[in-house]
């Protein structure tokens, strides 16, 4: 399960790098909720950020932890170092995401980003 969840989380990041809203949408549950420094986002909000193309230029994930939350849920927590498109500065944040396994596979139901101090 650990490697599968890490791979799925990286696919979300790759969708941001590629500007692929369809790939991003496919990874998110219809009732997805994201908690960010600027507020909440649903699935449309998360995928909508890609309407003008890629939002992330580069990223690196470290300190990855994956925990089972029962038979059909998993939590992934990690540190993300990334650079946004059209920005020179590298940002650092801590991310936690909950994935749920259903008949069609794993989907992301919740994510929270916390900027590093």
**Residue 56 near residue 15, CB atoms below 8 Å:** no
Residue 36 contacts by C-beta under 8 Å, 6 or more apart in sequence? 112, 113
Beta-strand pair 28-36/39-42: antiparallel
Q: For residue 10, give the nearest of 95, 114, 116, 110 by alpha carbon.
A: 95
pLDDT digits (tens, 9 = 90+) for 25-67: 999 999 999 999 999 999 999 999 999 999 999 999 999 999 9
Q: What is the pLDDT of residue 73?
A: 98
Residue whose tokens read 């170092």? 81
pLDDT digits (tens, 9 = 90+) for 56-101: 999 999 999 999 999 999 999 999 999 999 999 999 999 999 999 9
| Nearest-angstrom CA–CA distance, 77 and 7 | 13
Q: What is the pLDDT of residue 67?
A: 98
Predicted model pTM: 0.95
Provide the strand spans (E) within 1-117. Answer: 28-36, 39-42, 56-68, 73-84, 90-102, 105-115
**Residue 66 near residue 2, CB atoms below 8 Å:** yes
């Amino acid at each position: 399960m650990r490697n599968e969840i890490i791979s799925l989380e990286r696919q979300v990041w790759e969708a941001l790098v590629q500007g692929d809203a369809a790939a991003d949408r496919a990874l998110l549950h219809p009732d997805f909720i994201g908690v960010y420094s600027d507020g909440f986002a649903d699935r449309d909000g998360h995928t909508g950020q890609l309407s003008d193309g890629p939002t992330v230029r580069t990223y690196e994930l470290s300190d990855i932890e994956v925990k089972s939350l029962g038979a059909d849920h998993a939590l992934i927590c990690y540190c993300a170092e990334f650079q946004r498109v059209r920005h020179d500065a590298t940002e650092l944040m801590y991310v936690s995401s909950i994935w749920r396994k259903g008949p069609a596979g794993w989907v992301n139901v919740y994510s929270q980003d916390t900027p590093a101090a």
